[in-house]
A = this chain, B = another copy of it.
Amino acid sequence: MSTSIPNGSSVLEDEASDVLHEPLLMQYQQPLRLRRSQSNTTSQLAIVGSNLCPIESLDYEIIENDFFKQDWRSRGKIQICQYIFMKWIFCLLIGLTVSLLGFFNNLAVENIAGMKFVVTSNMMLARKFMVAFLVFASSNLCLTLFASVITAFIAPEAAGSGIPEVKAYLNGVDAPAIFSFRTLIVKIVGSICAVSASLNIGKAGPMVHTGACIAAIVGQGGSKKFRLTWKWLRFFKNDRDRRDLVTCGSAAGIAAAFRSPVGGVLFALEEMASWWRSALLWRSFFTTAVVAIVLRALIDICLRGECGLFGKGGLIMYDVTSANISYHFMDVPPVLLLAIIGGILGSIYNFLLNKVLKLYNVINGKGIAFKIILACSISVFTSCLLFGLPWLASCRACPSNLSEPCPTIGRSGNYKKFHCPPGYYNDLASLFFNTNDDAIKNLFSKDTDSEFHHSSMLIFFATCFFLSIVSYGIVVPAGLFVPVIVTGAAYGRFVGMLVGSNSNLNHGLFAVLGSASLLGGSMRMTVSLCVIILELTNNLLLLPLIMLVLLISKTVADAFNGNIYDLIMTSKGFPYLETHAEPYMRQLTVRDVVTGPLQIFHGYEKVGNIVHVLKTTGHNGFPVVDEPPVCMSPVLFGLILRANLLTLLKSKAFLRNPAPVGSDAFVRFSADDFAKKGLGHVDKVEDIELSEEEMEMYIDLHPFTNTSPYTVVETMSLAKALILFREVGLRHLLVIPKISGRVPVVGILTRHDFMPQHILSLHPMLMRSRWKRLRFRFPQLDKFI
């Protein structure tokens, strides 16, 4: 038997919102009949709550206890209208804020990195190469140092992409402080600095995290600390609404990062969300529509030249529209080959990234100084490569009849001068000595089939592949999308150069397909990546080829290992609940996995007992059982949450004798007492002081107990219980005995009881059974690295 959520788990129930969450207004007027208690107290709007703690939170379950029922009935039509109104206002707010931030982010990166390149290029022009390198490397180092210092000291949660954390949150796992205001600020500033520092990292992942942060903060309902509360905001003090907002926020993040509103919605749907409703589709669509419209307006302003030197929007949109894309059957074999190798490369990428992350975890674990030294050394190393490698390439003469100046000096362009004489350009510098966005633009551009050497492309590909793997794990906000796109583009363009004139496709299109194959091989999304690439490149005619490439590269890569975000989540130890059951779960019954002594409370429980149990266990939910003489035989009355017990203890709503508290309960408490607390607020049993006398008193738990928790019979297979647990989005699942008459409840299942690690530790013989997914495995490689 088990009641097992480790301490630090948070309790959460999605209340009342259930009736409210539909896009259509619903109304109801009066309680049809009241049960048990007839008192019509003044209790306010419902949402029976809980406190939020370090790890884990969620469910879509409706809590049904007398207190809440009472409270729910008192809601009026106006409150529902307020709720719906606020829901859309919040989406609007999220869309506005995220698009402004995304725009600001791009503008800052463009201008900081642009200034850096202009200064360096001017020195190169004056042939002061050493000084140029020193300026380049030291400005990169300063930016990286700043980004890593603020990340390491102020908000370590802001390091990395943030997508795994947000994905885990939407699955019900609250990593601590991922949505705090600190994290948000560090994420934005750090991301700008790190990207400007020419590190091979992206800004899409941080944008997703930023969007989710904004959504979570918006949905937190103001701040008591800063006295920013508003009664309309109380409706959102529950997990379900917060999760919905965070989903919209992450969609807005992708929409702002790539100017890809539909892709953003699909990304949130396919990759981020664990539970999805069509109402959410509509709201996230609205959010990303706001992003698209605002960005469009801002770009209009920039196109009028009001955004500084490098303010041509800078928002990624690699236009590859060319009027005459035509491809025939003979173009398919090279594309297939590209997709297969891209899939293999993607899985190698995931494998290596995972290994490097493990290594970095060891280094970063040694202290903040080590973290910062690691980040700085990667920066110096990157600067050396970016500045050093172009020297390997020989200068090439500028082609005639170009529409753009050649060589381009200072500002971004396809033909960088670097150290070459006038009239010549350095093809490697055009890729390396540029922001990633400009490099991608170069690689995707058409009519440049003869711009690059084979060797340059190969060097660029290898360097990007390597750099993006070693850059991700350092202590700065860092995304994976752009590095993968740029690496894939180099790979695709190289394939295109090999295929040469045997294909109708130009090298720019090969680069797009190469990006698709590496994205598919690494991130393993389908529809969302497809739409993102289409929206990035603005060319619908490529659609069939992109679909083909994504399908093949994902299939190939899936044969080797998992999605990059899942690997990161696993390495971070998040108890992510998968949709499907592992095969061996069908062999086990729920009885086989519930462990440990079960803590049960009685309907009228002694205060001392409650305090003792809360202090000695970390459980979050406790079955409440009525025993004789209260009733004829032991009856499972329901489930009470730790948070509610703490609220009761704090309020000292005690009784001298074990007797019903009656309607008193509804007067004494308001729904706010039980509402979900803001991010990071945790009640602790140790903070509650009780006298000896109080410890001998009783609490009537009945009005605060969820009287109809979901239950399963002990003989049900674990796989079947998992379906219920996962689909309904539960946090606690009570296990009842097959044969009544014994205790009415034999255990509680929680998320942790479904984790393979837990099950395998209980049943080690399952380890030997070959139940694992069919995948090619290379154990010797693991040993080697």
Binding site for B on A (CB under 8 A): 18-19, 21-33, 60-62, 64, 72, 261-262, 265-266, 269-270, 276-278, 281-282, 285-286, 288-289, 292-293, 296-297, 300, 328-329, 526-527, 530-531, 534-535, 538, 540-541, 543-544, 547-548, 551, 554, 558, 579-584, 586-588, 631-633, 635, 707-708, 710-713, 715-717, 719-720, 723-724, 727-729, 738-741, 744, 763, 765-766, 769-775
Contacts and interface: CB of A to CB of B under 8 A. Distances in A.
A445 to B, nearest CB: 17
A262 B581 contact: no
Contact of A292 (B543, B713, B738): B543
B531 A262 contact: yes
11 contacts: A19-B581, A27-B770, A27-B771, A32-B765, A62-B719, A64-B716, A286-B551, A538-B541, A707-B715, A710-B724, A740-B741
A712 B276 CA distance: 24
A278 B282 contact: no
A579 B31 CA distance: 23
Contact of A527 (B28, B285, B534, B558): B285
A31 B584 CA distance: 9
A583 B270 contact: no
A113 to B, nearest CB: 27
Q: Copy number of this protein in the oligomer?
A: 2
B24 A773 contact: yes
A772 B262 CA distance: 33
B64 A583 contact: no
A269 B527 CA distance: 11
B720 A64 contact: yes
A293 B772 CA distance: 35
A780 to B, nearest CB: 22
Contacts of A544: 261, 289, 292-293, 296
Among A292, A541, A544, A632, chain B packs the most CB atoms within 10 A around the CB of A544
B25 A773 contact: yes
Contacts of A724: 710, 724, 728
A632 B741 contact: yes
A289 B551 contact: yes
Among A269, A289, A579, chain B packs the most CB atoms within 10 A around the CB of A289
B541 A540 contact: no
Contacts of A27: 583, 770-774
Given A62-B720, A740-B744, A261 B26 contact: no
A526 B287 CA distance: 12
B26 A265 contact: no
Contact of A708 (B269, B329, B716, B773): B716
A723 B719 CA distance: 19
Contact of A60 (B265, B710, B723, B772): B723
A29 B770 contact: yes
Contacts of A541: 538
A744 B739 CA distance: 10
Given A526-B285, A551-B286, A715-B707, A26 B771 contact: yes
A281 B261 CA distance: 19
A563 B286 CA distance: 19
Among A18, A270, A300, A540, chain B packs the most CB atoms within 10 A around the CB of A540
A625 B765 CA distance: 35
Nearest 3 interchain pairs by C-beta: A25-B774, A708-B716, A740-B740
Nearest to A714: B708
A261 B633 contact: no
Contacts of A288: 547
A254 to B, nearest CB: 14
A262 B543 contact: yes
A235 to B, nearest CB: 16
